[in-house]
């Protein structure tokens, strides 16, 4: 397998002095990819489409073009060709404002724009409890976190942790435990389940309930401040969150249940991510760190709910979901309590231990089909989610942005935050086909060290591993969402704090950031803010 990521051999600081270099990779990614697939499952013979290690959609000429255009730059004196349009031809060039993440892909058709708007209406729709006179909107809960998709994905952007009495609208606690019996371990190995829910409270804590029922409890977050001093003497404070649940309504949690906070991520560019060829993501996998660079990204291989085949997970904080449609179905069921053809859970996340919950009416209407959100609803919400445009870059030619980009490469950030990909030429939607995109993610799992560990395994992801989140749009967080909370639980209150929390495989990059001078660190942040 060709290598898409080959760092320059000799990079220097902004002042010309040499910067510590990571050890160059010595082994071909091809062997790493073959190894990860062999380790993942012995039943993958025949190269399922979702795990293909070669690109069948490209001619030899196209493959050469893709290899050339996705090779990381060594020239930091000016922007790269097409860098402005980080979401390809679908990039939004509209004025930046609070709706910067809510624009449709610029290259969809007029007819598709109508479909996008219908999907947006459903994404913003508030569901109501059953029975209701608005039969097309009932079925909420009985236990839930929010009444509409948009209420969690605020302005299609990033969520925030609870503050005081503001509630947990856009962050929730995932509940799960590891397999214990041989039967459970077999189910995990066979990818039938990613882990096991709490026997009473299910897969996530739901704080709200329909009339006549109590919410499950409330998330509590306590912070402890931690002082950090950088190499130049700059002192900063980081806040370490501690999670617990109060006011449990249905008895105690299982003592084996772990709590994993999950902040809602931005919605932009999802359709483009879905069309990155599996081979191009797997080309970066090196689970045994055979090249000795300290980075051992690995894929989360999941079982596709529709085909039943093992495939590449690429969505969610632990890359536990393969498709946007499945991600939407999981959110309908877990966050709102709405059943879909993909997740026919009319009572959402209610468990057998919650008999009163299961006795509540649901919103299934015979004239609309056997689920509360029938296929047309899922089609529209999925299309909307696939076509939220990535905003154009800003200030990409500014000297400090270019200097920050250089430092981003020098200290090794691109080892996980892969700058660019070219999507599949045979993508089912032309708007996402053969697009050069700049997500700055490899979409693989990486061990981020004990400080960021949640202790919760999800499929192939261990309790200290997280998917590399895309960085495009990160500089607009404050404008769109009115805050600067980052990482999976929003503990970081700035981009600098987010970097300082990096550990594990990212420890060396973090330490190089700490060792840089103030001007260099400011430049790197300026680069991130330009994305």
What tokens does 3 get? 């290598």
- Report d(CA 317, CA 333) in Å as an integer: 18
- Report d(CA 214, CA 350) in Å as an integer: 12
**Is it true that the peptide bond before 53 is cis, omega within 30 degrees of 0?**
no
The verdict on 398 and 334 lying in the same domain is no
43: pLDDT strictly greater than 60: no
Q: What is the largest CA-CA distance in the chain?
A: 72
The verdict on 277 and 351 lying in the same domain is no
Contact assessment for residue 286 and residue 34, using Cβ atoms and an 8 Å cutoff: no
Mean pLDDT calculated for residue range 122-142 = 89
The verdict on 355 and 395 lying in the same domain is no
- Report d(CA 489, CA 485) in Å as an integer: 8
Contact assessment for residue 258 and residue 454, using Cβ atoms and an 8 Å cutoff: yes
64: pLDDT strictly greater than 90: yes
Check residue 114 and give its pLDDT.
Answer: 98
The answer to whether position 290 is within a domain reads yes
The verdict on 367 and 447 lying in the same domain is no
Q: Is 275 helix (H, G, I), strand (E, B) or coil?
A: coil
Highest mean pLDDT among 10-24, 37-51, 345-359: 345-359
Q: Is 220 helix (H, G, I), strand (E, B) or coil?
A: strand
Intra-chain end-to-end CA distance of the chain, in Å: 29
The verdict on 367 and 278 lying in the same domain is no
Q: List pLDDT tens digits, range 270-292.
A: 999 999 999 999 999 999 999 99
- Report d(CA 467, CA 322) in Å as an integer: 13
Check residue 165 and give its pLDDT.
Answer: 62
Closest Cα partner for 13 from 522, 507, 515, 410? 410
Domain endpoint, select from 378, 407, 431: 378
**Beta-bridge partner residues of 204:** 174
> Which residues make Cβ contacts (< 8 Å) with residue 251, sequence separation at least 6?
200, 353
Residue 132 binned pLDDT confidence (cut-offs 50, 70, 90)? confident
Q: List pLDDT tens digits, range 444-458.
A: 999 999 999 999 999
Q: Where are the alpha helices (DSSP H) in 277-420?
A: 278-282, 324-331, 355-358, 375-386, 399-410
The answer to whether position 184 is within a domain reads yes
**Beta-bridge partner residues of 104:** 388
Number of domains present in the structure of the chain: 2
Residue 166 binned pLDDT confidence (cut-offs 50, 70, 90)? low
One DSSP character per residue, 92-107 reads B-SPPSTTTTSPBPTT
The verdict on 324 and 416 lying in the same domain is no
The answer to whether position 509 is within a domain reads yes
Across the chain, mean pLDDT equals 90
Domain assignment of residue 173, given as a range? 128-265+316-378
Q: Distances in Å between the alpha carbon of 189 and those of 178, 269, 465?
A: 12, 31, 18
The verdict on 394 and 419 lying in the same domain is yes
Domain endpoint, select from 358, 378, 398: 378
Predicted TM-score of the model (pTM): 0.91
The verdict on 248 and 290 lying in the same domain is no
Check residue 168 and give its pLDDT.
Answer: 63
């Amino acid at each position: 397998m060709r290598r898409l990521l080959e760092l320059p051999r000799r990079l220097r600081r902004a002042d010309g002095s040499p910067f510590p270099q990571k050890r160059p990779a010595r082994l071909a990614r091809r062997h790493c990819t073959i190894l990860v697939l062999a380790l993942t499952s012995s039943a993958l013979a025949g190269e399922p489409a979702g795990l293909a290690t070669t690109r069948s959609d490209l001619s030899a000429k196209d493959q050469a073009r893709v290899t050339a255009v996705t090779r990381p730059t060594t020239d930091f004196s000016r922007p790269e060709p097409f860098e402005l349009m980080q979401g390809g031809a679908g990039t939004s060039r509209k004025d930046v404002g609070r709706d910067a993440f809510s624009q449709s892909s610029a290259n969809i058709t007029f007819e598709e724009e109508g479909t996008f708007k219908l999907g947006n209406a459903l994404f913003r729709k508030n569901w109501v409890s059953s029975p209701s006179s608005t039969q097309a909107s009932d079925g909420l809960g009985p236990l839930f976190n929010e009444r509409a998709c948009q209420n969690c994905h605020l302005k299609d952007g990033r969520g925030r942790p609870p503050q005081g009495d503001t509630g947990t609208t856009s962050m929730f606690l995932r509940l799960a435990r590891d397999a214990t019996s041989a039967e459970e371990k077999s189910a995990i190995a066979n990818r039938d389940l990613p882990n096991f829910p709490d026997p009473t409270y299910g897969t996530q804590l739901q704080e709200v309930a329909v009339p006549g029922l109590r919410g499950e409890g409330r998330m509590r977050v306590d912070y402890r401040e931690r002082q950090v001093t950088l190499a130049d003497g700059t002192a900063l404070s980081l806040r370490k969150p501690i999670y617990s649940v109060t006011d449990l309504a249905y008895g105690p949690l299982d003592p084996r249940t772990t709590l994993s906070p999950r902040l809602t991520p931005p919605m932009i560019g999802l359709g483009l991510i879905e069309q990155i060829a599996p081979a191009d993501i797997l080309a970066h996998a090196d689970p045994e760190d055979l090249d000795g660079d300290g980075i051992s990204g690995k894929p989360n291989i999941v079982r596709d709910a529709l085909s039943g085949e093992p495939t590449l997970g690429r969505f969610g904080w632990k890359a536990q979901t393969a498709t946007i449609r499945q991600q939407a179905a999981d959110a309908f069921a877990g966050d709102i309590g709405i059943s879909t053809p993909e997740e026919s859970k009319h009572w959402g996340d209610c468990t057998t231990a919650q008999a009163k919950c299961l006795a509540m009416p649901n919103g299934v209407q015979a004239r609309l089909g056997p689920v509360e959100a029938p296929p047309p609803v899922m089609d529209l919400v999925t299309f909307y989610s696939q076509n939220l445009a990535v905003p154009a870059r800003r200030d990409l030619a500014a000297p400090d942005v270019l200097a920050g980009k250089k430092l981003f490469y020098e200290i090794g950030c691109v080892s996980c935050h892969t700058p660019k990909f070219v999507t599949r030429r045979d993508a089912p939607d032309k708007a996402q086909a053969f697009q050069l995109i700049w997500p700055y993610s490899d979409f693989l799992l990486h061990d981020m060290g004990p400080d960021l560990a949640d202790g919760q395994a999800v499929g192939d992801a261990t309790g200290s591993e997280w998917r590399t989140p895309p960085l495009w749009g990160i500089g607009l967080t404050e404008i769109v969402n009115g805050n600067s909370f980052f990482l999976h639980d929003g503990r970081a209150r700035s981009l600098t704090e987010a970097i300082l929390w990096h550990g594990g495989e990212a420890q060396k990059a973090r330490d190089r950031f700490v060792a840089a001078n103030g001007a260099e660190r400011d430049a790197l942040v300026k680069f991130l803010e330009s994305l």
